[in-house]
Amino acid sequence: MKKEWAPQLLSLLRIVVAFLYFQVGSAKWFAFPAAIMPGGGTAPVGSLPWFAGVIEVIGGALILLGLFTRPVAFILSGEMAVAYFIGHASRGPWLWPVINQGGPAVFYCFFFLFLSAAGPGPWSLDALLARRRASVVPVS
């Protein structure tokens, strides 16, 4: 693969991961595409999983669109770190996500941390807004 495709592949990776992440939140918040909460249904309003679902739905949508990517990705990385240590590390050896079922949280945490540094790539609203700002000639 040629090196000049790297920015577009970054955008594609951002879009696919954000789509998957959005589904995690929408399953907690709306029980869509499926109910994943213990006992089915949605997370109780005001509970920790409910707040996590809010962050995942809103943050996932913003990352999918590539809007405010860097600060949103940083927040989502933190949310996933907290999710790992609260929801997974307590279930088994914290150093072994394969045992405590925290692998997805670790992946999302480090992916979003990377995205907060790398940016959204060229296929994003952030890039579109930057191009528009660059093309505006200031009036003096």
pLDDT tens-place string over residues 58-99: 999 999 999 999 999 999 999 999 999 999 998 888 889 999
Domain assignment present for residue 137? The answer is no
With 80 as the cut, is the pLDDT of residue 140 above it?
Answer: no
| Token pair belonging to 109 | 């945490």
CB atoms within 10 A of CB 37: 17
Collapsed DSSP state (helix, strand, coil) of residue 93 = coil
| Token pair belonging to 132 | 């528009």
User: d(Cα 53, Cα 87) in Å, to the nearest integer?
Assistant: 14
User: d(Cα 132, Cα 61) in Å, to the nearest integer?
Assistant: 22
- Tell me whether the omega of the peptide bond preceding residue 33 falls within 30 degrees of 0, making it cis: yes
Domain assignment present for residue 49? The answer is yes
pLDDT digits (tens, 9 = 90+) for 15-33: 999 999 999 999 999 999 9
Domain assignment present for residue 34? The answer is yes
Domain assignment present for residue 138? The answer is no
**How does DSSP classify residue 4?**
G
Domain assignment present for residue 37? The answer is yes
Confidence class for position 2, pLDDT limits 50, 70, 90? low
Domains held by the chain: number: 1
Domain assignment present for residue 139? The answer is no
Q: Is this model's pTM higher than 0.85 or not?
A: yes
Domain that holds residue 59: 3-132
